[in-house]
Every structure is written in C-alpha cells, then in structure tokens.
Chains A and B, each alone.
Chain A
Amino acid sequence: MGALFRDPVLLATVLGTNIPFFSMAVILIFTRSNPRLSSRISVGSIVVSAVSAISLLVKLFSAPALQYQTLWFCSGKLNIAFGYYLDPLSLLMLTIVGIVACLVQIYSLGYMAGDPGYSRYYAFQSLFAWAMMNMVIAGSMLQLFIFWEMVGLASYFLIGFYYEKWSASQAGKKAFVMNRVGDVGFFLGLILLLIGFGNLGIPELNHAAVTHGLPKGLVTLSALLIFCGVIGKSAQFPLLTWLPDAMEGPTPVSALLHSATMVAAGVYMFSRIFPFFSASPEAMQVALAIGTVTMLLSSTMAMVTYDLKQVWAYSTVSQLGYMVMALSAGGYFAGVFHLTTHAGFKALLFLCSGIFIHEFHTNDMRIIGKKGGRRLKIPMVCMTIGALALSGVPPFSGFFSKEAILTVLAAQPSKIWYAAGLFGAVLTAYYSFRLIFHILFPKDGIEEQHHHAEHGPDAHEHEEEHHGFAFRAMAIPVMFLAGVSVVLGFTEHGLEHFLMRLVPRAGEVSAHARSAAAVHGAVNATAAAAAHAQEPSGSLLMVLGISAGLLGITLAWFEYGRKGASRKGFLSHFPAVWKLFDLRWFLDILYRKGLDTFVYAGLTSLFVKNDRRIIDGGIDGICVFTEGSGRVFSFLQSGMLQFNLVLMVLVAGAAVLYFVI
C-alpha cells in the first residue's frame, strides 16, 4: 500500500485504470435511477483515466520500460503474478484507449440522451474502459487474457444494450461465443506455455523467444493457438462475422469497441508479444495468410451493403486484416501505427455515422442521402475526412500508415501479399466513397418536403434538440477526431522512434533490432528483406499506393458520384457475386447450419434423448423392474396355505439334500 503512494507512476496507473471500475460499481449499485449523475460519474472517471494516461505517456516518454509485479497467488509450482508493464506500446495504446473512450463517452452524452438505459449504458462503458485499460497494461499474458475476457464481457453487454431487440441480444451472444472460440485457443496456448515454459510474463516471454529459450515446436504451436485469440477478438477469418452483427449496439459503442479499441485488442496482443510470434515463421505465415484473406473478404462485403454502420464494420475488419498482415509480415511499427491512425479515423467515421443515424433514425445510406444527410455540415465534412484517411489519401493519417504497411508487404519475398494489399486499398477507397457519394449525391435528390412534412409540428423542437447540448456533445468529439486524423500522420517518425526504442523486435532496421536480428535467423530473413526492399522502391511504392486509393475513389465517383450515374455498382451485374458478398461468403449460413445440425439437432438432441431414454429410462426401468419383481414374488405369498408350505418344505428338503450329498 505504501509503495502505491510513494510511486506517482504506479499511483497514476492504478488510479487511472481502475477508477472506471469504481464508477461502474457506483452506478450499478447506487445511482441507477439517476441517469444524469451516472453519466457524470462515468465521464468524470474516464476523464481522469484519459488524463492519467496522457500524463503517463508524457512522463515515461523517454523512460525505460517499467514493470510492476506482485504475486497474485501460487498453486504448487505455478506462480501467477499480477503486474503492470509500461512500455511505449502499452503507453501508446493506453492513451488511445483513454482518449477515444473519453471522446465517445462525451459523445454519448448527446447520442444516448433520453434512453431508458442511460445509467446502464454508462456503467458498461466504464466497465469496458476499466477492462480495456487494464488489458493494455497487463504485465503477463494471463492477466492480459483475463482482461481480454472482461473486455469481451463489456462488449457483450454493450452490443446487447437494446436487449429488448431480439437481434441485439442475438448479436451479443454471437459475439461472445465466437470470441470464446478464439479464446479457447488462446487459453490453450497459454496453458501450453505455462506447462512448457512456466512463466507468462510478457517481457520474459519475449525475451525467451528471442534468445531461443523456448523449444521451437512449443513456440509454433502456442503461437498458433494464441493467434486464435487474435482471430476471435479482431474478427479475422474465419471468425469475422460477429463484428458486423455487433453493430446492433449503440453507435458510440461501435465506434469505441468495435472499431477503435476493443477489436484492435487482438492486434495489440499480437504486437505485445511480437518477438514471440516472430520466433515462429510458420505461425507468422499463417497469420499473414489469414490477415490477407480477412482483408479481402471483408472489403468485398463492404462493397454491397447499404447499411452505414455495416460498411464501417466491414471496413474495420478489413483494416484489422491489414494490421495483422503488417505485423505478420514483420512490420511491427506499421501494424501498430495503423492501429493508431485507424483508431482515430474509424472512431471518427462511426461517430459521424452516429450523428446521421441519430438524426434520421435509419442506417440505410440511401435514405440518409435522400433525407438530406449532406446538410449536416459538420459530420459530413468530418466523415469525408475520415473516408479520405481510410482510403489512404495524403495527407490524412491513413495514408501514412497504409504506406508503411504496403512497404512492409512489398518487402515480402512473395509479391502476392503486396498485390493483395494494393487491391484491398482500391476496394477500401471504392466502398468508402460509395458511401460518401450515396449521401452527398442521393439518387433522386433530397426529399425536402417529405422531411418537413414528417417533422412539421415539432420541427422547431427538433432543430433545437440537434443544435442544442446533444448535438454539441456529439459534434465536439467528432471535430476533435477529424483534427487528429489530419495531423496524426505526420507524427509517424516521432511515434516510430518512441515505439522502436525499447523493443527487442525483429522487424524494422534499428539499432535495437540488431541484437535480436542477429540471433534470430528466421526472422532475420524477413527483416533483411524488408530493409533492403524499402529503400530503392520507396517512391514507387508511394505512387502505387496513392494511385490505388485514387483509383477506388474514381471508380466510386464514376458509379455513384457523377450526375447520371446508375448508383448501382458494377457488382449488380453479377447477382451471384452480389449475393455471395451480401451473405458474407455464406460464412454465417455455414455456422448457423453447423450449429443447428451438428450441435442442436445432433449432439444436443442425442444427449437429451440419451438422458431421457437410456439413462433415465434405464433407471426407471430398474425401478419398474424392482417393483415388478415385487409383484412376481408376491405370488409366492399366495393365499393358498399349502403352496406356501410346499415352498417351505422344498427349501428345507433341498437344504437337507445339500448337506447329504
């Protein structure tokens, strides 16, 4: 306890990360019935968290990695530590989480105003903030896993926030269960490491992996298993379908959890033990493939949907795919950087969409466009900025991070990854601007009359509402994020320096990497290739990258933007492909079918039948048999005396015979 107060860093860490927990508890237990107070408590605590996160970042900007550790419990030879690990990566992520969470909570003040579950909403938001921040600074993989699960729990509650809607609760359940599938792999990986290595501390693990402290097979197997966690949490193929469904939650939740932070946790975890993963090229290769597939699949899905949030959801999945690609191609910084910028612009995109949705009570981009979405200037501009950043158009943040990723991919021996990346960039730009153009240039113009007729009587009130407190609460975070998206890209070098300073990684060229690269043959190859490939063709790559983005935008303009465009998209000529994309490559149907036939109709009903018929039936049968034999034996006791006596005499006679013979 004393140490806590003597060490301001520790104090800030503990306080900053845990205060949301207390706010959640207070809200749930005491202030449920007072929404205003609840929201203030929650926002207040998240502000404290954000401030302490930023101050930690500033204070430890050039400090060495800090590790706090205490024994949580021990069981036999198993010592489980509880601790914090503050290094540049976790500080960066902590800051991102703090700021985005803070912005989203402020935004929610407006967005969620008047909702009956207002208090509950803030309680779960606090829960999420607490869990996420604790996950970020976790000192060991087990601790990370624990808060990883808690984050999932918060996500479950927030997705199912509108629980009276069946689809919402269904989506929450789906998210949780699909995450669980990945987590089981993660968990098994951890157990394997625990058995094989005996320590789950993040620095220890990384160190051991780099210095060959672990057997190769163990690393590969456990890395693959742990990567399952990434697949689940970051919605990678084949567990990607929960994320679009998760859009059932309130939009700020989608912004915070399902784009900016929580789903990035998978990527974060990947980068957290990046050296460990790097020690297994096989696992990295698998991850690269999965990232690529995810990225492409989800981009195609985004091309056909008309639901605003779905587009961004698919886009999130595909961007996460990018990050995984970057990391698994050895681009540690590229991945983390993209994570950072993505957090900014994707939160921005979602929050902007949220304003539209809040205004027009629909998710359909065509209706929003028709009803005059473009007249909401602030969100429209901000969303366009976000879309430009997403499409990788300079000078927005996305451009820099995407370039970094493409550079890394280009350094891969096989060019197919780079090609896929480029292709993905085209698709990204296409679907983003498809959406923007749908709103900006609706097909049949804006239905002014209709809009007014509908809202006629209370139009004034309506306006009031949207330009009052609520609108401001929503607009300010949006504008802030838009600003961030504009400038964040230029911090690339500063961030790189900050991040790379301490990492014993095997990726980019840096003084620190040398030792790691020297000892690590397999990773060395990637690293060296990356180092060599980057320099000569840098400008070419940049041109290619920009043009991919522009190509996509142009295509979108051609189909949706320009006057007289069909606004149908070229895919409508291929209904089969459209259907394929629209139904998420049949993944959901496959899962549903699998679950229905294999689990419900198969095992479950088999087991239930087994219980009823065989086990219970058997036991009841024994009972019936027992009673029946009672009835049968009771015939021995017939009323006729002499039959009974015959029995008696026979037994006596038999006994006599037995002894005689």
Chain B
Amino acid sequence: MTDFMLFLPELFFILGALLFFIFSLRKSPNPAGFHRWAVVLSAVGLLITVASSHQEGMLFFNCYRVDLFSQIFKVLLALGTVWVMFSSSELKGIDSRQHAEYYFLIFVCTLAMMMLVSSVELLTIYVSMELSSYSLYLLVPMRRGEDRYFESGVKYFMIGVTSSGFMIFGISLLFGVGHTTYVPQLIKALPAVIHQPAAIVGLVLTLAGFFFKLALFPFHIWAPDVYQGASNQVTTYIATVSKMAAAAMIIRFAGLSGGASPGLVKLLIVLSIASMTFGNLVALIQKDLKRLLAYSSIAHAGYILIGILTLNSQGFASAIYYAAAYLVMNYSVFMVIMKVADDGHNLQIKELAGLYKRSPLLAMTFMLGLFGLAGIPPTAGFTGKFLVFAAAVHKGYLFLAIIGMVNATISLYYYLIVFKAAYLLKPVKEYPAIAVDMWTRVMSIVLVVMTIYLGLFPDQVVSLTEAAARTLF
C-alpha cells in the first residue's frame, strides 16, 4: 500500500493519459471540454504530487527511488504541466480534431519525465527518456497550417534519435565498466574506474542524451527550429517542463563521476561556456520571439551546467534552484506569448509593440519574466544565477562566473530589445486589446509574485534544494 502511495503521482498521470486516450477515440471532438478536463486533471495531479513530495522509498526492485530530489522535480514537472494545460485554452496551433491526442501525449510525456527523475536504473532511465522523447517527437509536428514549420518535426526526430543512439551506446559502456545498471551501485563503482576511457566516455555519451534534452551546445541544434516550428503550447512545454527533467538527469549523472575526473569537469566547463556564448550571441540577431527564446534557452542550459559542473551538493542545489526559477520565468514569458498570439501564430518581436497598452498586467508579467531570464534582481532568475555562480566561485572557478556575467550582459541586450518592443514601440497597426480573463489575471499575479518571492526570499527553497541535492550522495 505504501508502494502504491509512493507511485501515486505517476499513477494519476497514467490515469489522465488513459482518459484522454479514451477521449481520442470519441467521434466528435470537444476542445473546450478537453481543456477543462486537462486543467482539472493536471491541477489535481499537481496537488497529489505536492502532497506526496515528502515521500521516500524504493520501488520496483530498487529501480525506482522516490526521494526529495525526485519529488521536487516531479512537483516542478507537474507545475509546468498545469501551466501548459492552463495556457492550452488558446490551442489554435493544433487541429482541434487532435486535441485529445495532444493532451494524451502531454500527460504521457509528463509521466515519462516523472519516471525519469525517479529512475535509478539505466534501462528504466533510457526507456522513460525515450517515452518522453517520442511524445515530444509526435507533439512537434502536430502544428497545423504553415508547412514551412513542418521540417522542424523531422529535424527534431533525427537529432533526437541520433542523440539517443549516443546515449544508449554510452549506457552500454557504463554497463561494461560498472557491470551493473543500478545507479546507486554505479556511484560506488565508477569513481574507482573513472580513469578508464570507457567509464568516462560512457558517462559523457550518456550525458549527451540529456544534453540534447536540455539543448546544450552542441546538442542544441534542434532547439531553434523546434521552438519556432512547434505550436506555442508545445514549445512552452518543451521549453519549461522537459528542461526540468533534463536538468535533473544531468545532475544525477554528473554526480556519477564522483568528482574524480578533472577531464569531465573541463569538458563540462567548455560546454557550458560554449553554450552560454553561442546561445547569447546568436539570440542577438533573432526576429522571431520563440526562436530567440530558443537561443536564450541554450544559454540558460549553460548556466545550469555551471552549477552542475561543480559536482558538489551546493552546486547541484543551485542548479535545482536555477531550474525551478527558469521554469517560472520562462513560463511567464511564454504565457504572455500564448495570450498575445491567441490565434496560435508565431509571434515576431515587433508584434509585441504596444503590449503595455493592450494589457498592462500581461506586459508586467512579460517584463518580469524577461528580466528574470536576464538575471536582474529582485527576480528569481537573479538569485538563481547568484547561487550558481556562488557555487562555481566557491569551487574556484572565478573565471566561469566572470564569463557567465559577461554573457548575462550580452543577453540583456536582446531581452531589452524584446522589452523595448513591448513597452516602448508604437504599434505599426492597431492591435485589439487582449482579452484577459480572470484566470489569466490570477495566473499573471501568481507568476509575478512567484518570480519576486523566489528572488527575494530564497531561503526556504534553497534549503529544500540543498536537502534534495544531499540525497544524491
């Protein structure tokens, strides 16, 4: 029975998925009804996840561990899912006949990611990872209309399967040197053999799969196209929820080396610097808002990696915090995008012109989200960066903090350009005021409060993340 309780969030999401599977079999689609169901279900799912957030235990013959680390990420995943579901009221980017499948895939994907963060066995991890990937592979090409976006689906798929090929190859090497597929045993076994090429290469290649999910340079190549090509809601989901799982898994796997491999750290440093720099630089020249955010997400992957590459609990905690903050801020931005582009088209930066007049509240949410992403206090994004850099500097990587801050300055430029569009520019043509319903208002305020609260009062969250990070060791 206790086992059942431990698995409750996942079970609930399976239930949700099945429900929408059944819905998908119905003859006449009812998008509004589906949306209500989805919001309610995911909200209940969130509640359940939160309620079970302090559970601990092992399941499925030790393949599955429920602990603070996994539960925090499950809460984040559920939270992101609720938000995406909430914003799916403007799901115009997907044919209304496919909405049931859309919700089904989202639920499955969230479920897969929840299993991913809890899994402590390589095959389980791989299969969960593939399940979530497959759902996303399918969600991306669901975009209705414009054919030119369709290529993103096939690109995503090809890059995804290649990365997954690397990953399974890496897992095989880990299996070869560690003689086991259990992560806890690997943690014990690997540091001793980490100087063996197979061990470290296996680790790196396994990480490559997660880097792909996190869109870290050079596994980022799908991100701009997919962000641009997928419907707004799916992009939001990929940009927020799936990043959580990826971050969690990178934290888990980076810890496998036990800090015994300077080469790995060097590699991660190089990747994080490359990712930050590349993302920020290329974002400077973007016109499409979602594409810009894609590059920004590449840069943020670099920041998260800075926290991770310290390979100590402080760094991991900071990375968890950063991921959570990133979820909130990124969703703030995407929510506004979805509201503004309520017909589901791709928002160009200049289309934001006059947003402050069309909806001051949304504009404020958007602004805080952007500033959060840019790392300006008192938003959560700043505190996240602060923690990440603190961890890096504490470990002795002063230069990394400097490079990170310089990058943050570069990134500020394009965030400010977006901000300028929303607050300063006069619209070329008259856009209608945006209908903001009560729920959206509430959501905006919640997001604003969360962004600032996380930024100014990080104490509880930080201790929580630290407790979570400690469970990894």
By a CB distance below 8 angstroms, the chain B residues around A655 are 201, 204, 267
Q: How many residues of A sit at the interface, in one of the four size bands?
A: 20 to 34
* Residue of chain B at shortest CB distance from A650: B218
Tell yes or no: B282 within 8 A of A by CB: yes
By a CB distance below 8 angstroms, the chain B residues around A629 are 281
Tell yes or no: A627 within 8 A of B by CB: yes
Q: Pick from B155-163, B179-187, B428-436 the stretch touching chain A.
A: B155-163
- B391-445 with Cβ < 8 A to chain A: 410, 413
Q: Check if B159 sits within 8 Å of A645, measured CB to CB.
A: yes
By a CB distance below 8 angstroms, the chain B residues around A659 are 197, 200-201, 204, 263
A651 to B205, CA, bound (A): 11
Q: Check if A630 sits within 8 Å of B284, measured CB to CB.
A: yes
By a CB distance below 8 angstroms, the chain A residues around B204 are 652, 655-656, 659
Q: Check if A652 sits within 8 Å of B208, measured CB to CB.
A: yes
By a CB distance below 8 angstroms, the chain A residues around B158 are 641, 645
- If A637-B221, A660-B201 touch, whether A630 touches B159 (CB-CB below 8 Å) is no
A84 to B224, CA, bound (A): 79
Tell yes or no: A658 within 8 A of B by CB: yes
By a CB distance below 8 angstroms, the chain B residues around A639 are 151, 225
Q: Check if A644 sits within 8 Å of B159, measured CB to CB.
A: yes
A649 to B166, CA, bound (A): 9
Tell yes or no: A577 within 8 A of B by CB: no
By a CB distance below 8 angstroms, the chain A residues around B200 are 659
By a CB distance below 8 angstroms, the chain A residues around B151 are 639
By a CB distance below 8 angstroms, the chain A residues around B325 are none
Tell yes or no: B25 within 8 A of A by CB: no
By a CB distance below 8 angstroms, the chain A residues around B163 are 648
Tell yes or no: A633 within 8 A of B by CB: yes
Q: Check if A636 sits within 8 Å of B155, measured CB to CB.
A: no
By a CB distance below 8 angstroms, the chain B residues around A573 are none
Tell yes or no: B283 within 8 A of A by CB: yes
* Residue of chain A at shortest CB distance from B205: A652
Tell yes or no: B1 within 8 A of A by CB: no
Q: Check if A630 sits within 8 Å of B281, measured CB to CB.
A: yes
Q: Check if A656 sits within 8 Å of B281, measured CB to CB.
A: no
* Residue of chain A at shortest CB distance from B212: A648
- If A652-B208, A656-B201 touch, whether A626 touches B159 (CB-CB below 8 Å) is no
* Residue of chain A at shortest CB distance from B266: A658
Tell yes or no: A414 within 8 A of B by CB: no
Q: Check if A631 sits within 8 Å of B285, measured CB to CB.
A: yes
- A605-661 with Cβ < 8 A to chain B: 626-627, 629-631, 633-634, 636-637, 639, 641, 644-645, 647-652, 655-656, 658-660
Partner of A626, one of B205, B224, B263, B284: B284
A648 to B413, CA, bound (A): 28
A644 to B224, CA, bound (A): 12
- B49 CB → nearest A CB, Å: 34
A641 to B267, CA, bound (A): 24
Tell yes or no: B322 within 8 A of A by CB: no
By a CB distance below 8 angstroms, the chain B residues around A631 are 285
Tell yes or no: B219 within 8 A of A by CB: yes
A10 to B448, CA, bound (A): 67
* Residue of chain A at shortest CB distance from B197: A660
Instruction: Please report whether the interface of chain A is mostly helix, strand, loop or mixed according to DSSP.
Output: helix
- A621 CB → nearest B CB, Å: 15
Q: Check if A630 sits within 8 Å of B283, measured CB to CB.
A: yes
- If A626-B284, A630-B281 touch, whether A648 touches B201 (CB-CB below 8 Å) is no
Q: Check if A630 sits within 8 Å of B282, measured CB to CB.
A: yes
Q: Check if A634 sits within 8 Å of B155, measured CB to CB.
A: no
By a CB distance below 8 angstroms, the chain A residues around B278 are 633, 636
By a CB distance below 8 angstroms, the chain A residues around B155 are 641
By a CB distance below 8 angstroms, the chain A residues around B263 are 658-659
- A458-504 with Cβ < 8 A to chain B: none
Q: Check if A658 sits within 8 Å of B281, measured CB to CB.
A: no
Q: Check if A626 sits within 8 Å of B201, measured CB to CB.
A: no
By a CB distance below 8 angstroms, the chain B residues around A660 are 197, 201
A261 to B473, CA, bound (A): 88
- A620 CB → nearest B CB, Å: 13
* Residue of chain A at shortest CB distance from B283: A630
- If A630-B281, A658-B267, A660-B201 touch, whether A648 touches B410 (CB-CB below 8 Å) is no
Q: Check if B218 sits within 8 Å of A651, measured CB to CB.
A: yes
- B121 CB → nearest A CB, Å: 24
By a CB distance below 8 angstroms, the chain B residues around A649 are 162
- If A644-B221, A645-B221, A648-B219 touch, whether A637 touches B205 (CB-CB below 8 Å) is no
A598 to B314, CA, bound (A): 60
Q: Which of A634, A645, A655, A656 has the most CB of B within 10 A?
A: A655
Q: Check if B285 sits within 8 Å of A627, measured CB to CB.
A: yes
- If A627-B285, A637-B282 touch, whether A648 touches B267 (CB-CB below 8 Å) is no
By a CB distance below 8 angstroms, the chain B residues around A652 are 166, 204-205, 208, 218
Q: Check if B208 sits within 8 Å of A630, measured CB to CB.
A: no
Q: Which of A636, A641, A648 has the most CB of B within 10 A?
A: A648
Q: Check if B282 sits within 8 Å of A641, measured CB to CB.
A: no
By a CB distance below 8 angstroms, the chain B residues around A627 are 284-285
- B70 CB → nearest A CB, Å: 28
- A5 CB → nearest B CB, Å: 57
Report 25 cross-chain contacts, Cβ distance below 8 Å, ordered by A residue. A626-B410, A626-B413, A627-B285, A629-B281, A630-B281, A630-B283, A630-B284, A630-B285, A631-B285, A633-B278, A636-B278, A637-B282, A639-B225, A641-B158, A641-B221, A644-B159, A645-B159, A648-B219, A649-B162, A651-B218, A652-B208, A655-B204, A659-B197, A659-B263, A660-B201
Question: Which residues of B come within 8 Å of A, CB atoms?
Answer: 151, 155, 158-159, 162-163, 166, 197, 200-201, 204-205, 208, 218-219, 221, 224-225, 263, 267, 278, 281-285, 410, 413
Question: Which residues of A come within 8 Å of B, CB atoms?
Answer: 626-627, 629-631, 633-634, 636-637, 639, 641, 644-645, 647-652, 655-656, 658-660
Given contacts A637-B224, A659-B200, 10 further A-B contacts (CB under 8 A): A630-B283, A630-B285, A631-B285, A639-B225, A645-B221, A648-B221, A650-B218, A655-B204, A656-B204, A659-B263
In the A-B complex, the 7 residue pairs with the smallest Cβ-Cβ separation, listed nearest first, are A644-B221, A630-B281, A630-B284, A651-B218, A634-B282, A660-B197, A659-B200
